[in-house]
């Protein structure tokens, strides 16, 4: 409960978490540099030393923070080290962009209502890693993209924005994936701008509501 929009730093420090290709990371960086949302993406965080997102970050001049999960005896220790690094970077907001690790409730509470995630389906339908494929194989006529706050459950928290994609007759999975990704690249910066520039509240721990 309570409004959070407009209460944070004027130019928040933003970390983008990636594990793989990083196309949403690149789209966010380019949108940020064009002024589509305030603040600055100061670091790209990854758990995968082979992620192509690292190459994108180098090309874009964004620092990379790799924290190796295998170097820690437990998830708790890994997240403790990660939180320490985020404090050093003075990170205010976290944007998950294909980060394939589930954050613990302890971590989520540390950044309560300051972590956004993008998911390639119209949540609550088709949760999990293969949302596009699952929707396609199920035979739905409309799928899409969801940007939501991260809470203690997987692919759950309050929804900020959703966008729809109609599945075309005879369309294959590759074509659908391409159109979903194009929508992601447009919608994610829009959602970030909303939460950073507008006043809002979360009602009953679940519903995100714009106040102005």
Give catalytic status of residue 181 as yes or no: no
Dist CA 41 CA 173 (whole Å): 32
β strands within 157-210, DSSP E = 159-166, 200-203, 207-210
End-to-end CA distance of the chain: give it in Å, rounded.
16
Question: What SS3 state is found at 182?
Answer: helix
Rounded CA gap, 147 and 91, in Å? 20
Among residues 119, 148, 181, 185, the one annotated as catalytic is 119
Angle made by CA atoms 96, 196, 63, in degrees to the nearest 5: 45
* Catalytic residue annotation: 119
């Amino acid at each position: 409960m309570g409004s959070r929009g407009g209460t944070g730093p004027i130019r928040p420090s933003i970390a983008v978490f990636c594990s793989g290709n990083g196309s949403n990371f690149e789209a966010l960086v380019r949108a940020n540099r064009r002024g589509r949302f305030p603040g600055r993406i100061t670091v790209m965080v990854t758990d995968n030393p082979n992620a192509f997102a690292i190459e994108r970050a180098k090309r874009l001049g964004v620092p990379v923070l790799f924290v190796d999960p295998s170097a820690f005896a437990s998830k708790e220790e890994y997240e403790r080290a990660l939180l320490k690094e985020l404090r050093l970077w003075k990170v205010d907001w976290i944007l998950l962009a294909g980060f394939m690790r589930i954050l613990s409730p302890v971590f989520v509470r540390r950044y309560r209502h300051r972590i956004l995630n993008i998911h390639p389906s119209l949540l609550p339908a088709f949760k999990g890693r293969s949302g596009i494929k699952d929707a396609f194989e199920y035979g739905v006529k409309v799928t899409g993209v969801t940007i939501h706050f991260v809470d203690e459950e997987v692919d759950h928290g309050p929804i900020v924005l959703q966008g729809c994609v109609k599945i075309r007759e005879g369309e294959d999975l590759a074509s659908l994936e391409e159109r979903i990704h194009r929508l992601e690249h447009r919608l994610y910066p829009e959602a970030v701008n909303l939460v950073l520039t507008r006043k809002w509240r979360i009602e009953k721990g679940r519903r995100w509501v714009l106040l102005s």
